[in-house]
Structure 1
Amino acid sequence: MFIFIVLFLIVPTIFMLLARQSFFIEKIFSLVAVISLFTFGSITMSAVYQILDNQTVFMTSIHAVFLEPFFLVSGGYLLFFLAYRLLDDLFQW
């Protein structure tokens, strides 16, 4: 658990420092966030649609989406990106 807290503090700080160095890097971070958002959303919508279409039990079937590597990677990147944007906004003043 401690490693996750440390990563959650270090990775967004590195993002912020890199983005301050180059406008291009900042736009790359945003582009990857948009791609991650579409990936995350489409996997989520697909899983919910399959559950509704198959009329299966929602609580037991929806947890299979957590095994999807693209879901985990895109969600993790969005978490770091959101923390980076909040840190960047905080230190703008």
Structure 2
Amino acid sequence: MQLVLIVGAILVPILMFVLRQRSVAAVFDLLAALSVLLANIAAGLAVLEIKQENTEFTTHVHEIFMDPLFLATSGYIGVYSVYRLLVATSRTWQTKRA
């Protein structure tokens, strides 16, 4: 499972970079915006629950990392970040060549 995560974290951003036509890039951007929004909502709800139960100083705080919504959205944000760095690096290299 660890190998799948590592290889996926490397290959998925590269695949996104290869597929970065305008319409597909817009979908990647929209998914990233939704992922940030949903991850923030999941984190906010977890913080609210923790504050309501007064369990700030227990391991209950770490339950956010078990939330499938938080894991999926933050995982996409990580992959998307690497993709955007590849795009920025590509543009920098193209500018230096010109």
Asked whether the equivalents of residues 51 and 61 of structure 1 are also in contact (C-alpha less than 8 Å), the reply is yes
Q: Which residue matches 1:74?
A: 73
Listed one character per residue, the Cα deviations across residues 40-89 of structure 1 (whole Å, up to 9, x for unaligned) are 01110111111112211444112212221111110110000000000111
Q: Which residue matches 2:4?
A: 3
Q: Percent identity?
A: 30
**Residue 39 (structure 1) shift:** 0.5
- State the alpha-carbon separation in 1 of the partners of residues 87 and 71 from structure 2: 24
Structure 1 residues 58, 44: CA separation in 2 closer, same or farther (over 3 Å shift)? farther
- State the alpha-carbon separation in 1 of the partners of residues 72 and 26 from structure 2: 19
Structure 1 unaligned regions, length at least 5: none
User: Which structure has the larger Rg over C-alpha atoms?
Assistant: 2
Structure 2 unaligned regions, length at least 5: 94-98
Structure 1 residues 50, 90: CA separation in 2 closer, same or farther (over 3 Å shift)? same
Letter aligned with residue 15 of structure 1: M
Listed one character per residue, the Cα deviations across residues 3-39 of structure 1 (whole Å, up to 9, x for unaligned) are 33322221100001111xx201101000000000001
The secondary structure found in structure 2 opposite 1:42 is helix
The two structures, once aligned, show a CA RMSD in angstroms of: 1.4
